[in-house]
Structure 1
Amino acid sequence: MAPKLATYIALPGTTGDAFRHWHEVFGGELNLMTYGDTPMPGMPFEPDPNAVAHVTLDLPGGFLAGGDAMPGEEYNVEGSAYSLLYQFDTVAEAEAVIDKLLAAGGRVGMKFEPAPWGDHYGQIFDKFGVMWAINVPAQQ
């Protein structure tokens, strides 16, 4: 297997919900494991058995991974620190995904429209505060 780079996201107790939501919006293959699914003796803390130990979402064209934040870690999710760029072939594909993100409680950060550099581009903050930068390259 060739090396693969993935974005890893640790959310404060909402990772499972976020990844299930993204699976509904984007499709792909979801694999989720809680601490209760795989007891790990010798951990330096007592994990909540329902907390996500590890999750992956294989998407068309990409791969995401994550887990719930460790006890005591604080995360300010909303903003560009948790941002993902997803590129689509057509404006219609991108608009369909944007509609799903908004219908589920997301909000527009930047309207999806033609950008000065020629692409269609916009930013949507999903209901978990993660920014999805949506891009469709200019047609050649």
Structure 2
Amino acid sequence: MTASLATYFAFPGNTDEVLTHWQEVLGGELELVRYGDMQLEGMPFEPDPQSVAHATLTLPVGVIAGSDSMDDRDYPLRDTAYSMLYTTDTVDEARGFFNAFVEQGGSVGMPFERAPWGDWYGQVFDRYGVMWAFSCEAGE
């Protein structure tokens, strides 16, 4: 196995919904494993069999992983502490992802436009409160 690093989210019971949404916008391959799909013998708790034990969304640029949180805390996700930076090869690709998140219930944090440093950049909060920053080197 090769060493790797992935972003991991613990969502409040809606991991399948969030990662399915991200797959619809960004593409990639989604794999979901529910607790009901696993052998639960020896687990220190009794999870809901429909809860997501582990999920991965594999994109050409990396992996996003997550699971359903096993406690009852309400995690406020609309915060830049939970953010993703996606740098694309083309302005059109970045703009397309940005607009897709907005069209599917997200809100603009910072318009996607040429930034003062010359590159293209913008921020959008998806409908789950996660901030996605899209960037592309100067062009167009």
TM-score range, shorter chain: over 0.9
C-alpha deviation, 1:47, in angstroms: 0.9
C-alpha deviation, 1:82, in angstroms: 1.1
User: What SS does structure 2 have at the residue aligned with 1:99?
Assistant: helix
User: What SS does structure 2 have at the residue aligned with 1:116?
Assistant: coil
Higher mean C-alpha deviation, range 103-112 or range 41-50: 41-50
Look up the equivalent residue of 2:27 and give its one-letter code.
G
Alignment of 1:96-115 (within 5 A): 96-115=96-115
Alignment of 1:58-137 (within 5 A): 58-137=58-137
C-alpha deviation, 1:54, in angstroms: 0.1
C-alpha deviation, 1:30, in angstroms: 0.7
User: What SS does structure 2 have at the residue aligned with 1:36?
Assistant: helix
Higher mean C-alpha deviation, range 64-73 or range 80-89: 64-73
Q: Deviations over 1:85-124 (max 9, x none)?
A: 0011111111111121111101101111111111111111
- Calculate the TM-score normalised by the size of structure 1: 0.93
Higher mean C-alpha deviation, range 99-108 or range 43-52: 43-52
Tell me the C-alpha RMSD between the 2 structures.
1.2
C-alpha deviation, 1:39, in angstroms: 3.4
Look up the equivalent residue of 1:60 and give its one-letter code.
P
Q: Which runs of 5 or more structure 1 residues have no equivalent in the other structure? A: none
User: What SS does structure 1 have at the residue aligned with 2:49?
Assistant: coil
Partner of 2:51: 51
C-alpha deviation, 1:72, in angstroms: 3.0
User: What SS does structure 1 have at the residue aligned with 2:16?
Assistant: helix
* Alignment: residue pair count: 139
Give distance in 1, aligned partners of 2:21 and 2:111: 22
Look up the equivalent residue of 1:92 and give its one-letter code.
D
C-alpha deviation, 1:59, in angstroms: 0.4
Give distance in 2, aligned partners of 1:46 and 1:64: 26
User: What SS does structure 2 have at the residue aligned with 1:63?
Assistant: strand
Percent of aligned pairs with the same amino acid = 54
User: What SS does structure 1 have at the residue aligned with 2:37?
Assistant: coil
Q: Which runs of 5 or more structure 2 residues have no equivalent in the other structure? A: none
- Calculate the TM-score normalised by the size of structure 2: 0.93
Give distance in 2, aligned partners of 1:48 and 1:116: 49
Which aligned runs of 4 or more in structure 1 are off by greater than 4 angstroms? none
